[in-house]
Chain A
Amino acid sequence: MRNSLEPKPQRSAALLVVVLLILLAGLLQWVYFTHAATAPGAGLTALAQAELPRSGVTNPVTAVLLNYRALDTLLELSVLLTAMLGIWSLGPATPGYQQAGAVFAGLAAWVVPLLILSGGYLLWIGAKAPGGAFQAGALLAAAGVIQRLGGDPRASLPNESAQRWLAIAGIGIFALVGLATLVAGRGFLDYPLAWAGWLILLIETFATLTIATLLTAAYVGGQPPPSQTTATPGMHRMQAPDRKA
């Protein structure tokens, strides 16, 4: 039972940690409150609002993510990709769950299309209201998680080479747009005003696919099995005990 309930730590060490952490919390609060009393205030709000008409979108958060600080978002997609490569390099995925019963399958048949639909809505609405590529990608990934819980071992993802293409699609389109703006004589990812909205939508669409693929692959938790690309989930389940043995 070592893993389910663990031993309690030593009492003296626990007490010391608690005392030190209370001191740390007091120090942090003191520093923050004395600083907040003298802080200048509004930060970058005014600047972000002033530049909003030139960004191509009207939602300030999307403007920051995909226009002002687009390079950060590009690098963040690379962080996601790196994490997924790390997960894949650690071995094959677990065989997955057993085939779901009729109730769960019926639920999934309703919920998965709804998730895809609301993902598309969030992607589109992200230009002017709360939403955007990350939320849309998360909803698509949730659809994948539901499929995996319902017995599909690869969580509705395509085969491995298509997964690799999907995983780099967002980063590739992002970098290509950046290179195109460089070639056009502007800065990296410095969009021309007339095209900014459409370029952001293009980048966001592919970024959504990439984020959904990477998050679902992270949930599957390993490299997909090389063969059995056309196997039904039921066949997978029957073969699963071999891998365990």
Chain B
Amino acid sequence: MDAELLYASAGFILFVLGIWSLLLHRLLIRKLIALNIMGSGVFHLLIATAEHHGEPADPVPHALVLTGIVVAVSATALALSFGRALRGDGDD
């Protein structure tokens, strides 16, 4: 079995695990963690497809993932602020 395919299939499994938790859990913070893990699955798939044996890896997916990580964290921060504002009591 090819190691690259093994890594890629782990990306799919992470994505599906994230959807599972996103659909079944009610707490906002758990949904956010689930979303982050879904994103991690996608990033992992991109990294796994960028890797080739022996040759240097493809830098374009790496740059995409680098950008994606930063956007994911800022989206998480925004969502947490929304959650705090939705609960209505300002600071907790």
Q: Do chains A and B touch in the complex (CB under 8 A)?
A: yes
The 7 closest A-B pairs by CB, nearest first: A218-B77, A60-B59, A83-B74, A64-B63, A25-B16, A94-B91, A45-B58
CB of B19 within 8 Å of the partner chain: yes
- B60 with A64: CB separation less than 8 A: yes
Chain B, residues 18-50, CB within 8 Å of chain A (1/0): the string is 011001111100100000000000000000011
Main SS of the interface on chain B?
helix
- A80 with B74: CB separation less than 8 A: yes
Give the residue among A42, A65, A84, A211 with the most B Cβ atoms within 10 A: A65
Kindly identify, within residues 87 to 102 of chain A, every residue whose CB is under 8 Å from any CB belonging to chain B.
87, 90-92, 94-95
Q: How far is the CB of A225 from chain B (nearest CB, A)?
A: 12
Chain B residues whose CB sits within 8 angstroms of the CB of A188 once the complex forms: none
Chain B residues whose CB sits within 8 angstroms of the CB of A42 once the complex forms: 52, 55, 58
Listed stretches A14-22, A107-115, A160-168, A229-237; interface member: A14-22
| A residues in contact (CB < 8 Å) with B | 3, 6-7, 9, 13-14, 17-18, 21-22, 24-25, 28-29, 32-33, 36, 41-45, 48-49, 60-61, 63-65, 69, 72-73, 76, 79-80, 83-84, 86-87, 90-92, 94-95, 132, 134, 211, 214-215, 218-219, 221-222, 243-244
Given contacts A9-B24, A17-B20, contact A83 B78 (CB under 8 A): yes
Bound-state CA distance A65–B63 (Å) is: 6
Q: How far is the CB of B47 from chain A (nearest CB, A)?
A: 12
B interface residues, tally (CB under 8 Å): 45
Given contacts A48-B58, A60-B59, A91-B85, contact A76 B16 (CB under 8 A): no
Bound-state CA distance A192–B56 (Å) is: 27
Chain A residues whose CB sits within 8 angstroms of the CB of B25 once the complex forms: 6, 9
Bound-state CA distance A109–B75 (Å) is: 31
Give the residue among B13, B67, B71 with the most A Cβ atoms within 10 A: B67
Chain B, residues 64-92, CB within 8 Å of chain A (1/0): the string is 00110111011101101110110000111
Q: How far is the CB of B64 from chain A (nearest CB, A)?
A: 8
Chain B residues whose CB sits within 8 angstroms of the CB of A36 once the complex forms: 5, 8, 49
Chain A residues whose CB sits within 8 angstroms of the CB of B19 once the complex forms: 21, 24
Q: How far is the CB of A73 from chain B (nearest CB, A)?
A: 7
Bound-state CA distance A56–B33 (Å) is: 39
Least CB separation from A137: chain B residue? B70
Chain A residues whose CB sits within 8 angstroms of the CB of B74 once the complex forms: 79-80, 83-84, 214-215, 218
Given contacts A3-B27, A43-B50, contact A222 B58 (CB under 8 A): no
Chain B residues whose CB sits within 8 angstroms of the CB of A21 once the complex forms: 16, 19-20
